[in-house]
């Protein structure tokens, strides 16, 4: 993995009152994407009669009012191995979740709502782990495909999934399969209509209400013997020191939230014969909240459908408003090292 510089667009978050029709999908496929090429501005977002915003954006906690995107939250599965480099579109995301997949590597579930990049990827397949990640955001899932058992479980959970062949998917002839599938997310967004109010994904609050915690210059989130995601704190943001993102297209969060999770067996093998793990994003576990160069320890709890609750030694914890990267680090086989200097 290689480090890059970064830039981040405006950050805001919304709780929408939605009275629009159900999401619809159109089929289509074309060829050869080239670059991300920017994103639509909030004023350019298509809006529908009756779709308004009052309060905060649900994925960042920032204030918002007025018109809102007519599309639902879109979660795109993006490869996070060295073969994915350079990843496209991360800097336009509202929130990112990292999860373990087979072979000891990780994959990203990247949330888009306020901004819609023209191109994101490389897009890879879904996992059953994504149900607990996607469902609380009332989101649709964008992935290359999935194992039959996974597709059945995602459908049974009431999640609308868009796989290769849907509007916006393209193969890049300059890259090697399977790392050459990209999504023109703006094209897909134009076919969608949100039908649900999106609740706050995290318990957002003011940074001043956060316990003081301890100094932390960064962290190493160890998912397996083969993969560690390294973060350092610079200039008020967290920098992924071994990112695969394209230069100038890195997601630089205000907060890194580490949740220790159980990981089970999904019950099938990948094409290479590796057992497929399934992150259990339910129940409870230890949490580490990194913000402003400090770390606060606590616990988390969540049901499959619910958003995340955080608790400290003196009651509920809130996540400072801003962009957040969530690390779902396995309780067994993973660990977290806090960098103090």
Q: What is the pLDDT of residues 294-338, one digit of tens each?
A: 999 999 999 999 999 999 988 999 999 999 999 999 999 999 999
To which H or E segment does residue 131 belong?
helix 130-134
Q: Domain range for residue 86?
A: 28-36+50-189
Q: Are residues 161 and 32 in the same domain?
A: yes
3-class DSSP string for 190-230: CCCCCCCCCCCCCCEECHHHCCCCEECCEEEEEEECCEEEE
Neighbours of 334 (CB within 10 A): 22
Q: Are residues 103 and 228 in the same domain?
A: no
- Report the domain count for the chain: 2
Q: Are residues 58 and 143 in the same domain?
A: yes
Q: Are residues 32 and 166 in the same domain?
A: yes
Q: Does some domain include residue 196?
A: no
Q: Which residue, 189, 221, 256, sits at the end of a domain? A: 189
Q: Are residues 91 and 131 in the same domain?
A: yes
Q: Are residues 93 and 132 in the same domain?
A: yes
CA angle 114, 129, 175 (to 5 degrees): 70
To which H or E segment does residue 239 belong?
strand 237-240
Q: Which residue, 157, 189, 221, sits at the end of a domain? A: 189
Q: Are residues 130 and 171 in the same domain?
A: yes
Kindly report, residue by residue over 9-46, the tens digit of the pLDDT. Answer: 333 333 333 333 333 333 333 334 433 334 333 333 44
Neighbours of 47 (CB within 10 A): 17
Instruction: State the average pLDDT over residues 148-167.
Output: 97
Q: Does some domain include residue 4?
A: no
Residue with tokens 């109010």, as numbered in its chain? 197
Kindly report, residue by residue over 79-100, the tens digit of the pLDDT. Answer: 999 999 999 999 999 999 999 9
Alpha helices in 271-321 (DSSP H): none
Q: Are residues 213 and 331 in the same domain?
A: yes
Q: Does some domain include residue 141?
A: yes
Look at residues 317, 301, 286, 299 and name the one whose alpha carbon lies nearest to residue 206.
317
pTM: 0.85
Q: Are residues 55 and 171 in the same domain?
A: yes
Query: What CA–CA distance (Å, rounded) separates 313 from 136?
Result: 26
Q: Are residues 75 and 149 in the same domain?
A: yes
Q: What is the CATH number of the domain that holds 297?
A: 3.50.90.10
Residue with tokens 């609740």, as numbered in its chain? 199
Query: Cα 300 to chain center, whole Å?
Result: 18
Q: Are residues 180 and 325 in the same domain?
A: no
Q: Does some domain include residue 7?
A: no
Q: Does some domain include residue 286?
A: yes
């Amino acid at each position: 993995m290689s480090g890059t510089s970064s830039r981040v667009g405006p950050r805001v978050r919304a709780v929408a009152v939605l009275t629009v029709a159900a999401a619809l999908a159109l089929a289509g496929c074309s060829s050869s994407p080239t670059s991300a090429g920017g994103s639509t501005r909030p004023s350019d977002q298509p809006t529908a009669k009756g779709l308004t915003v009052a309060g905060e954006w649900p994925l960042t906690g920032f204030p918002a009012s007025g018109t809102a995107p007519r599309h639902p939250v879109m979660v795109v599965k993006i490869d996070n191995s060295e073969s994915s480099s350079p990843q496209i579109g991360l800097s336009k995301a509202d929130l990112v979740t990292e999860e373990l997949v087979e072979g000891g590597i990780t994959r990203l579930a990247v949330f888009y709502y306020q901004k819609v990049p023209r191109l994101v990827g490389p897009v890879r397949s879904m996992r059953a782990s994504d149900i607990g990640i996607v469902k609380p955001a009332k989101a649709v899932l964008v992935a290359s495909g999935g194992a039959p058992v996974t597709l059945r479980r995602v459908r049974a959970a009431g999640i609308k999934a868009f796989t290769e062949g849907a509007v916006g998917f393209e193969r890049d002839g300059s890259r090697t399969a399977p790392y050459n599938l990209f999504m023109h997310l703006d094209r897909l967004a134009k076919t969608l209509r949100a039908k649900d109010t999106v609740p706050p994904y995290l318990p957002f609050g003011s940074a001043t209400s956060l316990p003081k915690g301890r100094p932390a210059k960064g962290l190493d989130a160890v998912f397996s013997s083969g993969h560690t995601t390294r973060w350092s704190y610079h200039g008020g943001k967290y920098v992924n020191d071994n990112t695969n993102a394209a230069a100038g297209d890195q997601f630089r969060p205000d907060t890194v939230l580490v949740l220790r999770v159980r990981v089970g067996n999904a019950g099938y093998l990948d094409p290479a014969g590796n057992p497929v793990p399934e992150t259990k994003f339910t129940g409870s576990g230890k949490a580490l909240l990194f913000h402003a160069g400090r770390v606060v320890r606590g616990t988390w709890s969540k049901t499959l459908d619910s958003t995340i609750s955080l608790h400290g030694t003196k009651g509920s914890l809130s996540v400072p408003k801003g962009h957040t990267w969530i690390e779902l680090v396995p309780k067994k086989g993973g660990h977290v090292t806090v960098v103090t200097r």
